[in-house]
Structure 1
Amino acid sequence: MNLIVAVDKNWAIGYKNDLLVSIPDDMKFFRETTTGKVVIMGKNTLESFPNSKPLKNRVNIVIALEKDYKVDGATVVYSIEEALEEAKKYNTEDVFVIGGGSIYKQMLPYCDTAYVTYVNYEYAADTFIPNLDEMPDEWEMVEESEENTYFDLEYYFRTYKRK
């Protein structure tokens, strides 16, 4: 299973249920990497999308706490365990955890690869994920792109693998 996320210098991912920054090349990378694949997300992440609609051209698995929560075009499950069971129906290389913070933290132990867009900037944020650079016994960065820029922002595409 994979994780895909954009983080700032403090491994922050969001503020008030929104992304910290929208970088076109990062959005393109996300789209190209996850299209035709399975995405697992929490209900708040789904509701942050335009019109709270599932992502097109993907199998959407949404984890919700409310047992009566339903979404057209998505499979709704009610626990991490149910999400893992649902994901077993697919090749693990084709499954991507896409947020939010709580879902990333709970699903991290089940992920083998993390695709991280690292933005070299510190944002005001209220949602964070574990810093993989501070987990050298578990994770190692195996690839990092050249420096990219979007206006004055520097960012890197990084790939981490579980040891």
Structure 2
Amino acid sequence: MQAYNKSQELIAEIEKAARLFIAEFDSVEEEEKNKRLEGVDRSPMQMIAYQLGWLSLILRWDADELEGKEVIMPAPNHKWNQLGGLYDSFYTKYASYSLEELRDMFEKAVTEMVAWINTLSEQELFEQDARKWASSTPSRWPVWKWIHINTVAPFKSFRGKIRKWKRLNT
């Protein structure tokens, strides 16, 4: 029962942080989604694209491992010490979508992440070395840590960024 509670706590934390983050975009106008402001390192579109990119990568790493494919982390043609190019690929991928579409995609991606977490056993989620991809870096984090560092943590920090962007945009 303990593991169930831990996984459900993780899911609740993800859902709450995601809900608070994406709600900040309610007052952002479509024509301003690409607006960059001094003091904020990303536009509103880039903030959502960043989240979508990482959510997609985590799910891809696990799917590739389960399919017996080589897991390339963080992504093909990108290295951990050169993440700027990876972020640019996220921005390019999602640049043509409206803010409403991006918000819908974000909500669907979070739902997909939660559904995936619900398929994982206690061992797969919380024990070190349960997945090769999660153990492939020197940190050897368990899967839950990869999830947290790429969902809850950035959802919270980017909520601060979009709030600052909105303050500066007035």
Bin the TM-score by the shorter chain: under 0.3
TM-score (ref. length: structure 2): 0.26
TM-score (ref. length: structure 1): 0.26
Q: Which has the larger radius of gyration?
A: 2
